[in-house]
Structure 1
Amino acid sequence: MGGATVIPPVSAQNGELFRETIDDGGATASVSESGSIIAFGVYPGTARAYIATDSNDYEAVEFVLPGDSSGFPVSHVAVTEETNTIVAAAMDVDVFGGGNLDDAGGLIGTPSTEAEWAYEQPGLWDIGVSGDLTTVAAVSNPMDVAPHVGVVQEGELAWEQPLEDAAGWAVDVSDDGQYIAVACVHIDDGLERSGQPNVRLYGADGDLLWRHETAEDVLDIAINEDEGIVVAGTDDWSTLAFDLDGELRWQRDESPTMTVLSGDGTTIVAESPVTALDSSDGSVLWESEMGNANVVADPMTVSADGTRVAVSTLDFELFVLENGEPIWEGENEAGPYYSAISADGSTLAAMEVDNDAKNAALVGYPLGT
């Protein structure tokens, strides 16, 4: 589509990298490794990315998924500055895809780019990505089709596997793309539950390496190949940690429960209350006085070293904690925040939803180091 079109940078207020208000809201955010790309799932089937320029401004680019875009906006988004690529998913139309933001073009309005690749997965529920976004896994939790996991490598569908006696709820891909961890729940047809919840680990070629059955639904999953760990959180407040061979390292059968794993694999962030656990043994590193995390979407994100955590609360507040202590906070009177923090902890993305005005502010904040 040609080179990126130069447009005036979006506005910024004191203490902000940029701010732009859009008519339609969204429900997800993502930040690249050092914060040079910040993206939000906004209009139906569209993600809006802000890319840092040489003059320290940010310019907007839109990424568009194919297909019918009626309904909800993009539900998942991930970006990397290594290759300026983006991956997004729209649950309402069962589509996920990726592309390169450098290909954005257009003569009028915001430069945009369409997906270079995209796949339809009936019942799409969650996606996971490798560090460079070249491996993307998707799981389904459908009412009327067979649940399965599908993996795309380098833009091509590599393999699909049925989940058989369970439905997919969450999925994560190791940073190197060699492992795919899946959290499975009961199959629910609206009348009754059936099947067997479990944790599964697949290899890059689609082989099922192991599976561990649980009594209750598995709602969160994360993997880190450097630490050799798979961590899962269940609906009955249990946190389980496995090695890559499927052996249970430790289990914690009490709240708080695992939500997210730091990029280096050393720190588990759990809630409620917001707590950091040592991934090696489940011991508590610190505990915050924060209330319940916002479980609607993007509840918490964590820096790669586990020291900084962004938390959106049910009271329409947004906090950044450093080792459990608040270092940044915001309050939104008219709606929730959807947020993300960069891997280096220096940059915060915040979607500030205004339920009264039916719009949302997309904002980037510098946090320092």
Structure 2
Amino acid sequence: MRVTLSILFLLLLSALPTLAAAAAPGEIPLCEVTVPGEIKEIALNTDGTGMAVLSDQTLSWHNSDETPGWEVPANNAETIGVSEDGSLLVSGGADLRTYDRDGGRAFRFDTGYFALGTAVSPEGSCIAAGFDNKSLTVFRADTQDGFEPVWTAGTTEDVISMALADNGSHLAACTRDGMVNSYTGDGRLLWRYDTGSERLTCAVTGDGSYVVVGADHGVVLLLNRNGILIREEVVGERLPAVSISADGSVVAIGGDDGVVLRSLQGDDLGTIGNGSVQAVALSADGSRVAAGQGEHLALFSTGTDEIMPVTAAAASTTAGTDTTGGEPVPARTQQAGLSVLPALAAVALLLGGRR
């Protein structure tokens, strides 16, 4: 009997690492960087080991292990994006440009119009730009290590923020008239959502299932792939910077009092730092978050490394219905870790009683 109970105890104990609840976000930065000029935008690679930083003076790449990166003049760029492996960086400004891993300029596209919004798909096969002539263009990689335009769409107003899903299968584009526009990979308009705000920023999950939008007056919106509002939250008094992990497990909101972390269900995962954050970026795996304050960038752990991923099977069997009429949002899976604790306690008592 002692052997059987011991084996049962070890089996239950071995299940805990995969079911553990998330740890608290890190309070001490993993690394810090100071750049020339005010930071405008940040982008991270998959695990947060590489950071692209756009300021009003420079565009630069930094490695979290402090090995040398690179830096070039900002060239009036307003926005950037980076592929998950860090091999492709795109910037939008007086023209559309891409850079390789070493900072070499790989591609340039000049329409004579200013590129106010840019995006790159996670695997780097597709880039997009929105111009100040009320149009947007999507490009796909060609055989010459460049990009060719594959479709262009007219918009109701100038595009000011963009985000691409995997393979360019979905595109979210925010325009100056307060609209969030969703397109298929071949340029078909799926839906438009009116936020009522003239200033917007957006991010999407890797598969395009969710779009998170930051709007004027501290409003953050979560929309599903059908353009249905899942949740709305006020987090401050100004335009919040927003980011979302590839699987949607973590949402980061940069505002007046540091970076607020949320789960897809709206659970509070903690707050990192303090003071006004004007730029924020999550790594694709959600384990790292970068915050830009003035000329200073700091990289933190989100403390979510131990959250069990929400798989398709888990989502279909543990979904909870939202209250806004949208699609169900996967329920929190980390709660499963707590369900084995009573069993462990009972086994421990039995083992102790037989000594």
Question: What is the TM-score normalised by the length of structure 2?
Answer: 0.64
Alpha-carbon distance change, 233 to 327 in structure 1, aligned in 2, over 3 angstroms: same
Query: What stretches of structure 1 of length at least 5 have no aligned partner?
Result: 1-13, 21-37, 45-68, 103-111, 141-146, 186-195
Secondary structure in structure 1 of the residue aligned to 2:208: coil
Partner of 1:306: 248
Alpha-carbon distance change, 237 to 99 in structure 1, aligned in 2, over 3 angstroms: closer
What is the one-letter code of the residue matched to 1:263?
G
Structure with the higher helix share, 1 or 2: 2
Alpha-carbon distance change, 334 to 304 in structure 1, aligned in 2, over 3 angstroms: closer
The count of aligned residue pairs is 274
Distance 1:16 1:227 in 2: 32
Whether the aligned pair in 2 keeps the contact of 1:136 and 1:151 (CA below 8 Å) is yes
Partner of 2:234: 290
Secondary structure in structure 2 of the residue aligned to 1:245: coil
Distance 2:95 2:262 in 1: 37
Partner of 2:8: none
Larger Rg: 2
TM superposition outliers: structure 1 runs of 4+ over 6 Å: 358-362
Alpha-carbon distance change, 97 to 362 in structure 1, aligned in 2, over 3 angstroms: closer
Partner of 2:108: 160
Quote how far apart the aligned CAs of 1:72 are: 3.4
**Structure 1 residue corresponding to 2:140, chosen from 197, 203, 211:** 203
Question: What is the TM-score normalised by the length of structure 1?
Answer: 0.62
Quote how far apart the aligned CAs of 1:235 are: 1.4
Partner of 1:114: 68
Partner of 2:38: 72
What root-mean-square deviation, in Å, do the aligned CA atoms of Structure 1 and Structure 2 show?
Answer: 3.5
Secondary structure in structure 2 of the residue aligned to 1:175: coil
| % identical aligned pairs | 22
Distance 2:83 2:297 in 1: 29
**Structure 2 residue corresponding to 1:126, chosen from 65, 73, 79:** 79
**Structure 2 residue corresponding to 1:170, chosen from 92, 117, 120:** 117
Is 1:267 the counterpart of 2:204? The answer is: no
Which gives a bigger RCO, structure 1 or 2 (Cα 8 Å, sep 6+)?
A: 2
Partner of 1:96: 59
Aligned counterparts, 1:1-369, within 5 A: 15=24, 17=26, 19=28, 40=32, 42-44=33-35, 69=36, 71-72=37-38, 75-81=41-47, 84=49, 86-93=50-57, 95-98=58-61, 112-115=66-69, 117-140=70-93, 147-155=94-102, 156-164=104-112, 166-185=113-132, 196-204=133-141, 205-226=146-167, 228-255=169-196, 259-272=202-215, 273-279=219-225, 281-284=226-229, 286-291=230-235, 294-295=238-239, 299-314=241-256, 316=257, 318-330=259-271, 335-336=276-277, 339-348=280-289, 363-367=300-304, 368-369=306-307
Query: What stretches of structure 2 of length at least 5 have no aligned partner?
Result: 1-22, 308-355
Structure with the higher strand share, 1 or 2: 1
